[in-house]
Amino acid sequence: MLDEAKRRRKAAKIIAVLAHFLGRGDRPLEGLTVADIGCSAGFIADELALAGARHTFGIDIDVPGLRKAAGRFGERVAFVCGDGTRLPFPDGSVDVLVFNHIYEHVVDPDAVIADMHRVLADDGVLYLGLGNRLGIMEPHYKLPFLSYLPPRAADRYVRAFGRADNYYERFRTRAGLRRMLADFHVWDYTFPVLATPEAFEGGELFAGAAGRAAKATLEKAPRPALRALLPIVPTYIWVATKSARRPSGIALPQPPESVPTRSSTS
């Protein structure tokens, strides 16, 4: 969270995905109201502001962290201490929400998603970076299969390797994430980003000859083969909307694909 260069690279990817979905150019957030939920040190929120947002908010419960972020970026971003289940915005007032790798850390992610649905504009867009419970390597503690385990076994596992006293993160499977987003229409950008990293500010994803070979494989892989991998992909990149919008960007070798939810099938 405090690695500024890494966080700004993640922000570039987030903005590129939003730009593609919205079909916008160099300043894809021009004139929009944007909020980063779980903003931490504020690096991503600052990049959202620099991408042209008319109003940018960073929401978190970490008061010392918010003070530090405000000291650096307060001229561009309004940092607010707020609970994700009671966001400090009127109904339908936010054009773009960012919720990037946060859900596994909160007590009630369903309630946070419900309140983001409340504050999102009818034609608004929610960017989601979502860890998968069935990803083999747990991303926080770098222990294989940690997120597969029930809570008590996971606690013993992290203690045995000296990583933490308890394992607090709670990931969901792809099916669980679909249920969490049931009230949204969702588009999956996971494979488009992996197959076309240059289009999504992800050049560091495929360094060297092995990386280039992996990229070429993903570009040409048939959709059924990719779908077979979806249950164990470690991270999903999803874009969610309240209305039945479609991505507006250029054609890609691996295009975004609709994720079935209650809203998309009703």
- pLDDT band at 1; cut points 50, 70, 90: low
Q: Parse the chain into domains and list their residue ranges.
A: 4-133+171-265, 137-168
Bridge-based pairing of strands 235-241 and 185-188 is: antiparallel
pTM for the full predicted model: 0.94
Dist CA 26 CA 247 (whole Å)? 17
Tens-digit pLDDT profile for residues 80-114: 999 999 999 999 999 999 999 999 999 999 999 99
Tens-digit pLDDT profile for residues 105-146: 999 999 999 999 999 999 999 999 999 999 999 999 999 999
Residue 217: what pLDDT?
77
DSSP-derived secondary structure for 79-130: EEE--TTS-SS-TT-EEEEEEES-GGGSS-HHHHHHHHHHHEEEEEEEEEEE
Residue 210: what pLDDT?
59
- Please give the structure tokens belonging to residue 99: 């919720």
Indicate if the pLDDT at residue 67 is higher than 80. Answer: yes
The vertex-137 CA angle with 132 and 140, nearest 5°, equals 80
Which CATH number is 4-133+171-265's, of 3.40.50.970, 1.10.645.10, 3.30.465.10, 3.40.50.150? Answer: 3.40.50.150
